[in-house]
C-alpha cells in the first residue's frame, strides 16, 4: 500500500466517522427537541384540561345554584299563596260570624222558620180538606150503589 492510498483511505474513514458522528449528534438533538416538544404539549394539554374542568365545574355550580334558587322561590311562592288563602278564609269566616251574630240575620232566620211553619200548617190543612172531600165522595159512591 502506498502512502497516498493509505492517507486517502484514512482520510475517508475519518470523514465518514465525522459524518456519522455529526449525523448521530443531529439525531440526538432532534430526539431531544422532539421530547421537549412532547413534554411542552403534554403540559399545555394538562393546563387546558384543568382550565376546562374548572369552567365545567363553575358552569355546573351555576346551574345548581340557579335550580336551588328556583326551588326556594317556588317554596316561598307556595307559602305566600297558602298564607293568602288562609287570610281569605279567615276573613270569610269572620264575615260569616258577623252575619250570623247580627240581629237582622237572626230576625230573618226567625221569620223564615215562621214562614216554613205556616206553609207546613197550610199544607196539612189542605191535605185534611182533600181527605174529607175524598171520604165524602166515597160515601156518595156507596150510597148510589
What are 42-94's pLDDT values in tens digits? 999 999 999 999 999 999 999 999 999 999 999 999 999 999 999 999 999 99
Grid cell digits, residue 28 = 440526538
pLDDT at position 115: 93
pLDDT class for 100, splitting at 50, 70, 90?
Answer: confident
pLDDT at position 7: 67
pLDDT at position 1: 59
Q: Which residues contact 99 (CB under 8 A, 6 or more apart)?
A: 105
Q: Is the pTM above the cut of 0.75?
A: no
- How far apart CA 108 and CA 23 sit, in angstroms, is 121
Grid cell digits, residue 45 = 394539554
Amino acid at each position: 500500500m502506498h502512502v497516498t492510498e493509505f492517507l486517502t483511505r484514512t482520510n475517508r474513514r475519518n470523514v465518514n466517522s465525522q459524518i456519522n458522528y455529526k449525523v448521530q449528534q443531529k439525531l440526538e438533538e432532534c430526539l431531544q427537541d422532539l421530547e421537549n416538544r412532547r413534554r411542552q404539549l403534554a403540559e399545555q394539554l394538562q393546563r387546558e384540561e384543568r382550565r376546562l374542568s374548572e369552567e365545567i365545574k363553575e358552569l355546573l355550580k351555576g346551574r345548581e345554584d340557579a335550580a336551588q334558587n328556583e326551588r326556594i322561590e317556588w317554596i316561598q311562592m307556595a307559602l305566600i299563596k297558602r298564607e293568602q288563602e288562609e287570610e281569605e278564609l279567615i276573613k270569610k269566616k269572620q264575615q260569616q260570624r258577623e252575619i250570623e251574630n247580627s240581629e237582622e240575620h237572626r230576625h230573618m232566620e226567625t221569620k223564615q222558620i215562621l214562614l216554613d211553619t205556616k206553609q207546613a200548617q197550610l199544607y196539612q190543612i189542605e191535605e185534611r180538606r182533600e181527605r174529607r172531600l175524598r171520604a165524602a165522595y166515597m160515601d156518595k159512591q156507596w150510597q148510589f150503589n
